[in-house]
């Protein structure tokens, strides 16, 4: 009987705490990405690299569609509280809909110059706090060509 009580207690604790490895509390992070001339960047990905780092931590990221993005961590909306370095990269067309066939003419389009994809060549930090967070407008140069 005692073994049953201990097992039940352990089950309740494991259920309440989860299996670990998750992102913990996530907070809404939204923003806009535009070119220097004010036009929205049609398609890109915003990535948020934790300044503190840490093993097995999912990198929050968000797809940019017509200049707007919302950050997700894994499959969940938001990002854990903390300081991040933001980078911006190109994504294949229609990455948000894997069932939609890709237009071959769109495959090679570059919307974001490569320098924005590295923390060595692009420095933008943002701190996620509890509650709703809005990243100040991010302005980038148009790619050459």
Per DSSP, the residues of 92-121 read -TTTT-TTSPPPGGGTT---S-GGGG-TTT
Whether 60 maps to a domain, the answer reads: yes
The Cβ-side half-sphere exposure at 51, using a 13 Å CA radius, reads 12
Residue 123 included in any domain: yes
pLDDT reported for residue 123: 87
Domain tally, the chain: 1
Residue 65's CATH number: 2.60.40.10
108: containing domain = 23-140
pLDDT at site 98: 62
The answer to whether position 136 is within a domain reads: yes
- The average confidence (pLDDT) of the chain is 81
| 56 occurs within a structural domain | yes
Q: Does 120 fall in a domain?
A: yes
Residue 8 has pLDDT above 90, yes or no: no
Q: Is residue 6's pLDDT more than 80?
A: no
Higher pLDDT, 82 or 56: 82
In this predicted structure, which of 1-5, 71-75, 108-112 has the lowest mean pLDDT?
1-5
- Give Cα 5 to chain centroid, integer Å: 43
Q: Characterize the bridge pairing of strands 133-134 and 29-35.
A: parallel
Query: Which of the four pLDDT bands, split at 50, 70 and 90, describes residue 21?
Result: very low
Query: Residue 145 pLDDT > 80, yes or no?
Result: no
Q: What's the confidence (pLDDT) of residue 83?
A: 94
Does residue 9 lie in a domain region?
no
| Per-residue model confidence as pLDDT tens digits over 132-144 | 999 999 999 999 8
Give 50's contacts (C-beta < 8 A, 6+ positions apart): 57, 59, 82, 83, 84
pLDDT digits (tens, 9 = 90+) for 59-93: 999 999 999 999 999 999 999 999 999 999 998 77
What per-residue confidence (pLDDT) applies to 94? 62
Could you give the CA distance from residue 53 to residue 40 in angstroms, rounded to a whole number? 30
With respect to residue 5, please indicate whether it lies within any of the assigned structural domains.
no
């Amino acid at each position: 009987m005692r073994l049953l009580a201990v097992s039940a207690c352990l089950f309740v604790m494991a259920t309440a705490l989860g299996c670990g490895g998750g992102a913990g509390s996530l907070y809404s992070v939204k923003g806009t990405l535009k070119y220097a001339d004010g036009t929205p960047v049609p398609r890109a990905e915003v990535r948020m690299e934790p300044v503190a780092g840490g093993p097995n931590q999912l990198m929050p990221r968000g797809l940019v569609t017509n200049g707007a993005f919302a950050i997700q961590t894994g499959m969940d909306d938001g990002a854990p509280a903390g300081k991040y370095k933001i980078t911006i990269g190109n994504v294949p067309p229609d990455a948000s809909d894997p069932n939609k066939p890709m237009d071959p003419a769109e495959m090679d389009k570059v919307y974001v110059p490569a320098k924005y994809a590295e923390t060595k060549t692009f420095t933008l930090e943002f701190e996620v706090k509890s509650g709703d967070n809005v990243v100040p407008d991010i302005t980038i140069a148009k790619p050459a060509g």
